[in-house]
Amino acid sequence: MTTGDDGLFDELVKGFSLTGAMPESGTFPAKSRPAQISVQQLKESAVWSRKMIHTSCRRVASDKEIAHAVYQETLQQLSDGWVKGPFTEAQLDAKYNRCWIPSKRFGVQQGQKIRAVDDFSEFLVNASVSSTEKLQLFGIDEVINTARTFLGCDCLEAHDNGAWLKEGRHDTSKPTSWYSPKGRALDLKAAYKQLARDPQDAWASILAFWNDE
């Protein structure tokens, strides 16, 4: 019997796929989501996406402040080594034998911050993905319930037959470490960008954004 995602380590080392069938982890509820198009059909559509990408980027760059923020964030990612480039169309044609899909990067205003978003839906990269599981993310309720379970741990005692029985009373004059829990939220900066991409899907991970300069 195994628990957890047995293939996660290999994916972390090799890189995660952007197209095709996603491997089953065995840790989430089953839910079939077939791809809308095949990877081959996605490749065949590359010629059209390359023709349309300029207009698409220009359209979302109508707000000059947002477009400039996206441009600056991309330059910072280039400096940090998270992206490579810039590349000309001719360079990409030579590298990927004229078979590459561009995805536009645009900005979203979130309070006082502008966040860059990479749109892998417009030119059907996401549509080529099939999966057999429904991603299930846990929230604060699970954290609280786990803490409550820990708080009640010393209210249990082992019986001779191996069963666990709840004590009618416990000595509150001697609190354990469970009675003073401390918590902290960790927010990794651009966490998903720190995950490697499968080199075989490099042709489907080209980003295009508006250069306001």
pLDDT single digits (tens) 77-88? 999 888 999 999
In the prediction, which pLDDT does 44 show?
A: 95
Mean pLDDT of 47-66: 92
Question: Residue 163 falls within a domain, yes or no?
Answer: no
**Which residue do the tokens 């037959």 mark?**
161
Question: Residue 179 falls within a domain, yes or no?
Answer: no
Question: Residue 159 falls within a domain, yes or no?
Answer: no
Question: Residue 94 falls within a domain, yes or no?
Answer: yes
In the prediction, which pLDDT does 142 show?
A: 82
Strands 206-208 and 129-133 turn out to be unpaired
For residues 140 and 66, the model is more confident at 66
Question: Residue 189 falls within a domain, yes or no?
Answer: no
In the prediction, which pLDDT does 170 show?
A: 44
Question: Residue 174 falls within a domain, yes or no?
Answer: no
For residues 42 and 6, the model is more confident at 42
Q: Please give the angle made by the CA atoms of 43, 48 and 51, to the nearest 5 degrees.
A: 130
Give the containing element (helix H, strand E) for 166: strand 164-166
Mean pLDDT of 36-60: 94
Residue 141's CB: how many other CB atoms inside 10 A? 8
Residues 161-205 have pLDDT tens digits of: 555 445 444 444 444 555 666 777 777 777 777 788 999 999 999
Domain span at residue 102 reads 8-137+201-208
Question: Residue 66 falls within a domain, yes or no?
Answer: yes
Question: Residue 130 falls within a domain, yes or no?
Answer: yes
Mean pLDDT of 35-60: 94
Give the containing element (helix H, strand E) for 131: strand 129-133
Query: Would the pLDDT of 17 be above 80?
Result: yes
Task: Count up the domains in the chain and report the number.
Answer: 1
For residues 150 and 195, the model is more confident at 195
Range with the lowest mean pLDDT among 27-41, 103-117, 122-136, 144-158?
144-158
In the prediction, which pLDDT does 161 show?
A: 53
